Amino acid sequence: MAATGFTTTPSKSTYDVVIMGGAIMGSSTAWFLTDNPDFNGSVLVIERDPNYEFCSTAHTNSCIRQQFSTALNVQISQFGADFYTNLRARMGDDSRVPDLKIRSFGYLYLADTDCFANVLRDNLKVQQAAGAATRLLTADQISDAYPFYNVDDVVLGSINTVNEGYFDGVTMFDWWKRQARERGVEYVQGEVGAINRQGNRITGVTLKSGATVGCGQLVNATGPRAAITARMAGLDLPVEPRKRFTYIFAAAHPLDRDLPLTIDPSGVHVRENGGGTYMAGGHADVDPAVDPTDFAMDHGLWENHIWPAVATRIPQFDTVKVQREWVGHYAYNTLDQNAIMGPHPKVGNFLFLNGFSGHGLQQSPAMGRAMAEWLTHGGYRTLDMTPFHFDRIIAGQPILERAII
């Protein structure tokens, strides 16, 4: 028995569904399967690190937004917000489940060119048509609402303060895992080292321990390592680990109101973190794929890139002290930074749940539900996720999502 209570050996020789990776996507799928009255199968989740120390989920900034440029991504986040704010009811009115709220300080996208201002105007139409409460703000309107910004270069801003801001995605993940296990999903500690394929069918997986387990359907929820696991089945997946840096800092002169998650034209973002502290994030200009074990900090990035951008935008942040910093990996989809989900077109019982780049946490309720629908019915019953299917990768046709962070 592993320290976390996970067993190290599967109790059965074969399962209807095997999920590789037991962080937020794997656990969401497992939970939604247990919640689907039409699913009566057995489920095994295989997780290499039950402490979840290095996964994307553990390094996230945990924010949710409605400001996407495709209606489907807006709808996915809307379901995420609804699911999260009704978590206890969704989990069978389990009184142990906390009552969770979104801290809706909003995302504020700032445009410093007419070209990007037009993108914000186009996005507004998509978002409002989907029911999001996005508003455009002129530089003067931004100054009225948030006097601390330097708006000298700002052409236009876009903000939504309804169901947009911080949410506690990791608590939602913990409850999915806990309730899924209580409902009979088996979690084992182990690393998938090989995938067993006969022709166009996956028959099972072999763990690095040597144990072999059969499966009816296999889900790839291995985050930034997704291409490595897909390769074990002879499949190429355009997903790679890319470093993203996060900093929590205290300000000598804190702001007198909540700081929206501000998307600066420099690519740096900064937001409210509570108690006079703020969270900033970004990445280096050179942004290569890294080894999945490489979490080395770039020590010059804060001084040379992140803090100058933050202090230029918010001059009140001229004196700050970094309290905490970390590196996390995006599972970066190199085609279009969007989800890759559903079955492989040839190997139909190999299912992708990958490539979420910087928005997987908020998408996890809708994606887990959709994956459970596919596993149960071979089709979608709520949101149609076929635009995210692997076929677009083969065709080289990206989803044109213009609000990527």
Residues that bind ligand FAD (CB under 6 A): 20-21, 23-26, 46-49, 52, 55-57, 59-63, 191-192, 221-225, 229, 244, 246, 328-331, 356, 358-362
Tokens of 194: 């090989």
Q: Which of 48/369 has CB closer to ligand FAD? A: 48
Residue 73: C-alpha distances to residues 65, 232, 282, 322, 342 (Å): 10, 30, 22, 33, 16
Spatial distance between the Cα atoms of 142 and 111, rounded to a whole number of angstroms: 12
Q: Shortest gap between Cβ of 339 and ligand FAD (angstroms)?
A: 9
CB 188 within 8 A of CB 127: no
Residue with tokens 């039950």: 50
Amino acid in position 238: P
Tokens of 9: 């050996």
Q: Shortest gap between Cβ of 148 and ligand FAD (angstroms)?
A: 22
Q: Shortest gap between Cβ of 200 and ligand FAD (angstroms)?
A: 22
Spatial distance between the Cα atoms of 105 and 228, rounded to a whole number of angstroms: 38
CB 215 within 8 A of CB 203: yes
Phi-psi region of 106 (alpha: psi -120 to 50; beta: other; left: phi over 0): left
Spatial distance between the Cα atoms of 177 and 80, rounded to a whole number of angstroms: 17
Q: Shortest gap between Cβ of 45 and ligand FAD (angstroms)?
A: 9
Q: Which of 287/318 has CB closer to ligand FAD? A: 287
200-213 as b/e, with b when 16 or more CB fall inside 10 Å? eebbbbbbeeebeb
Q: Shortest gap between Cβ of 295 and ligand FAD (angstroms)?
A: 11
Q: Residue number with the shortest CB distance to ligand FAD?
A: 360
Q: Which of 157/328 has CB closer to ligand FAD? A: 328
Backbone angles phi, psi at 85, to 5 degrees: -75, -10
Residue 80: C-alpha distances to residues 65, 167, 172, 387 (Å): 10, 10, 11, 19
Q: Shortest gap between Cβ of 155 and ligand FAD (angstroms)?
A: 25
Q: Which of 25/151 has CB closer to ligand FAD? A: 25
Q: Which of 143/212 has CB closer to ligand FAD? A: 212
Q: Shortest gap between Cβ of 326 and ligand FAD (angstroms)?
A: 8
Q: Which of 57/349 has CB closer to ligand FAD? A: 57
Q: Which of 94/168 has CB closer to ligand FAD? A: 168
Q: Shortest gap between Cβ of 153 and ligand FAD (angstroms)?
A: 25
Q: Shortest gap between Cβ of 327 and ligand FAD (angstroms)?
A: 8
Q: Which of 343/358 has CB closer to ligand FAD? A: 358
Q: Shortest gap between Cβ of 360 and ligand FAD (angstroms)?
A: 2
Q: Which of 43/221 has CB closer to ligand FAD? A: 221
Nearest CA to 91 among 26, 24, 172, 186?
A: 172
Beta strands, E only, 48-137: 63-64, 107-111, 135-137
Q: Which of 24/110 has CB closer to ligand FAD? A: 24
In the DSSP assignment, the letter for residue 260 is: P
Spatial distance between the Cα atoms of 336 and 353, rounded to a whole number of angstroms: 15
CB 62 within 8 A of CB 405: no
